[in-house]
Chain A
């Protein structure tokens, strides 16, 4: 039964590709062929064991390649207060020139949609696209085959971009179902520095599916900060495949905040292909209702003398379901690697769940690696302590949850962004103390 439905969704995907895409596009064609071989994740797929995505999509999504138009005219409510940023807006997977605010750029910074890129940018895009992602993930393949638009960001050598770049994705499902496939390609040249915020929002009650593919190349001594905010209020299902490739002495900070949506799957892979690299990747998922959020992270130490530190925390309430899988690979010659991982969870209700699995594969013998995961309820003793000082139960609960959650924000440097994230977290935890 299960197999039959999966096959039918897969068939629809392939049929829709054949009817709309030109076979001349070799990359797309290859992707769809690979997808045909691999298929969609089934209940038995190890990587999607706890996230029955195919079953859910089969039920919710009517596969089509047409994108509905949107009448969205104001995006103010989706912006980040007081944050001066280059603004790139995509609505239903299409770049919106009207809503974006990039302004005049110096010639050492490029921010453009793939569709509007000039000839030289187009050439750079072409030579880098799909060079970082080698993912066999079915949704990476779907994105490779179907992507509608991409955003290309290039920071030239020695350039420090002061303002962050906000890439805002809005899915407008007010009228009908939306399916979006978008890409992000970032090239940080040597000793450059940039901060990118990718934020997804959705409106309307019709179902959505959004596949994201992000390829980020961080060259020698460059610094990259990346913040992903997933705060969709609608019926969105999203899968993102993010790969960051780090060269020698580069620094990467990522933070992923997941609040709302129907089903969120994040595949984040950091490939450390250089020495003296530093990577911090933090995540926070605060889930309620029936949300399913699944973070699969990989840090792949391929060269010696680098450091990675991962901290993901989650609070699950109602019927929410969290999944965390953290892989650390330390390749044979990646000696003197320091790699740390921690995943901590609090379950607030009887019917909320978390499946957490650290996976370390270490081939080198002179390394320092540690991992740990905890799952528990709110500490009753701490709760009583706060109450015994006059703090009512609900406030005491919020106070403890907030304290639990907050340290993941430590790596965020932009104060306005930090304030905004803090506010989102406070609201979610009903912080009123």
Chain B
């Protein structure tokens, strides 16, 4: 098993957000996590990536058998976890190319591999650029600075392609995208899928799941997974909204 989450509870400040999450993800699988606003979807993504604002109060997360909470955020990335941000940060003065070169080589260093030289790096970059249909001129610019919403998300997927993670967590990657941008992003994600890696797609809407087809769909409500199913569940949610889930949860 790649990822095993047991009874995960977390809070931000005094506010409890995750109330005992259980989730298992195997290599080769795509899991969608859906749920109404404020249900804890983004918190789950952030906790897995190691954002410091959140305090884990209970539970355990094993990633390839290792306790995830033993690792700093950068080490989690080097272990193979990738978070595609809902709101990618703009960083003036750092080009995406330099940023990626540093990231790739820091991760290689962590894994005991020798750094890529300029030629090898450029070759890798060109190959991945094609995959996500991103232009080199964009990558020479300051990271995400002045990028459109679509360009930012495409840049996230480009970075994902460069780092070749084992587990990718896409946090609301569809938000702010028009249908064409959505297709490009989804194509990128799909072409990176393999039997060796896994993807968690966090989304509010079913729309993205037409393009990135999940093996499993989980519904998060009030910090717990209240329902799990296949892609049909996502369709049902699209048709009926979240109210019936809320009502069912209230009955339990």
Cβ of A389 < 8 Å from any Cβ of B?
yes
A54 CB, nearest partner CB in chain B, Å: 39
Q: Which among A60-68, A220-228, A398-406 touches the partner chain? A: A398-406
Q: Are B73 and A387 in contact (CB under 8 A)?
A: yes
Indicate whether A399 sits within 8 Å of B77 (C-beta atoms), given known contacts A389-B159, A389-B163, A390-B107. no
B93 interfacial by beta-carbon distance below 8 Å: yes
Contact between chains at B93 and A393 (CB < 8 Å): no
Given A385-B89, A403-B92, A403-B94: A391 in contact with B102 (beta carbons within 8 A) = yes
Interface residues of A in 361-418 (CB under 8 A from B): 379-382, 384-393, 395-396, 399-400, 402-404, 406-407
Q: A400 to B91, Cβ gap below 8 A?
A: yes
B167 to chain A, nearest CB (A): 13
B85 within 8 A of A: yes
Docked CA distance A379–B75 (Å): 20
- In the assembled complex, how far is the CB of residue B130 from the closest CB belonging to chain A, in whole angstroms? 21
Pick the contact of B77: A389, A395, A402, A404 (CB < 8 A).
A389
Q: Which residue in B74, B89, B91 is a CB contact (below 8 Å) of A393?
A: B74
B139 CB, min distance to chain A CBs, angstroms: 14
- In this complex, which of B85, B92, B106, B163 has the most chain A Cβ atoms within 10 angstroms of its Cβ? B106
Contact (Cβ within 8 A) A388 B107: no
Q: Which residues of B sit under 8 angstroms from A400, Cβ to Cβ?
A: 91, 94
Are A388 and B73 within 8 A (Cβ)? Answer: yes
Residue of B nearest to A381 (CB): B89
Interfacial residues of chain B within 92-108, with CB under 8 A of chain A in the complex: 92-94, 99-100, 102-104, 106-107
- Give Cα A392–Cα B74 distance, bound, in whole angstroms: 5
CB neighbours of A380 from chain B (8 A): 52
What residues of chain B lie closer than 8 Å to A407, measured between beta carbons? 93
Given contacts A399-B102, A433-B106, contact A406 B93 (CB under 8 A): yes
B236 contacts the other chain (CB 8 A): no
Q: A387-B74, A390-B107, A395-B106 are in contact. Are A382 and B52 (CB under 8 A)?
A: no
Partner of A386, one of B50, B52, B76, B99: B99
Chain A interfacial residues counted at CB < 8 A: 24
Rounded to whole angstroms, the CA-CA distance of A395 and B75 in the bound complex is 13
Q: Is B49 an interface residue, CB under 8 A from the partner? A: yes
Q: Is B83 an interface residue (CB 8 A)?
A: yes
Docked-complex contact A385 and B110, CB < 8 angstroms: no
List, in ascending order, chain B residues with CB within 8 A of A381's CB: 89
A175 to B106, CA, bound (A): 46
Q: A387-B50, A387-B72 are in contact. Are A392 and B91 (CB under 8 A)?
A: no
A390 touches B91 (CB 8 A): no
Instruction: Decide: A391 and B106 in contact? CB cutoff 8 A.
Output: yes
Q: Which of B30-78 contact A (CB under 8 A)?
A: 49-52, 72-78
A-B contacts, CB under 8 A, total? 73
Secondary structure class of chain B's binding surface, majority of residues: helix
**What count of chain B residues pass the 8 Å CB interface test?**
30
In the bound complex, what is the Cα–Cα distance between A402 and B103 (angstroms)? 16
Alpha-carbon distance A384/B75, docked complex (angstroms): 12
Chain B minimum-CB-distance residue to A399: B94
Judge whether B88 is part of the interface by a CB distance below 8 angstroms.
yes
Chain A neighbourhood of B50, CB < 8 A: 387-388
**Chain B neighbourhood of A402, CB < 8 A:** 93
Contacting residue for B103 out of A384, A389, A403, A406, CB 8 A: A389
A413→B76 CA distance, assembly (Å): 42
CB < 8 Å neighbour of A390 from B51, B88, B93, B106: B106
What residues on A are CB-neighbors of B110 within 8 Å?
Answer: 390
A387 to chain B: which residues have CB within 8 Å?
A: 50, 72-74, 77
CB closest residue in chain A, given B79: A390
Residues of the B chain whose Cβ atoms lie less than 8 Å from the Cβ of A433: 102, 106
Q: Which residues of B contact A403 (CB under 8 A)?
A: 91-94
Are B94 and A391 neighbours in the complex by a CB distance under 8 Å?
no
Nearest CB on A from B79, distance (A): 9
CB–CB A384/B73 < 8 A? yes
Cα-based distance from A281 to B92 in the complex (angstroms): 21
C-alpha spacing A238/B106, complex, angstroms: 41
Does the CB pair A392–B106 fall under 8 Å?
yes
Residue of A at shortest CB range from B107? Answer: A390
**Interface 1/0s, chain B 163-194, versus A by CB < 8 A?**
10000000000000000000000000000000
Q: B74: which A residues are within 8 A, CB to CB?
A: 387-393, 396
Closest to B94 in A: A403
Partner of B52, one of A384, A389, A396, A399: A384
**A304-B103 Cα distance, complex, nearest whole Å:** 50
Tell me which of B73, B88, B93 has the highest count of chain A C-beta atoms within 10 A of its own C-beta: B73
* Residues of chain A from 83 to 106 with CB closer than 8 A to chain B in the complex: none
Please indicate the chain B residues that have their CB under 8 angstroms from the CB of A391 in the complex: 74, 102-103, 106
Instruction: Please state if A385 and B91 are interface contacts (CB–CB under 8 Å).
Output: yes
Residues from chain B with Cβ under 8 Å of A395 in the complex? 102, 106
| Chain B residues within 8 Å of A385, by CB | 85, 88-89, 91
11 A-B pairs, CB-CB below 8 angstroms?
A379-B89, A384-B51, A388-B73, A388-B76, A389-B163, A390-B74, A391-B102, A399-B94, A399-B102, A400-B91, A407-B93
Cβ-closest 5 pairs across A and B: A403-B93, A390-B77, A387-B73, A390-B107, A389-B103
Apart from A386-B99, A387-B50, A392-B106: 11 A-B pairs, beta carbons within 8 A: A385-B88, A388-B73, A388-B83, A388-B85, A389-B74, A390-B77, A390-B110, A391-B106, A396-B74, A400-B91, A403-B92
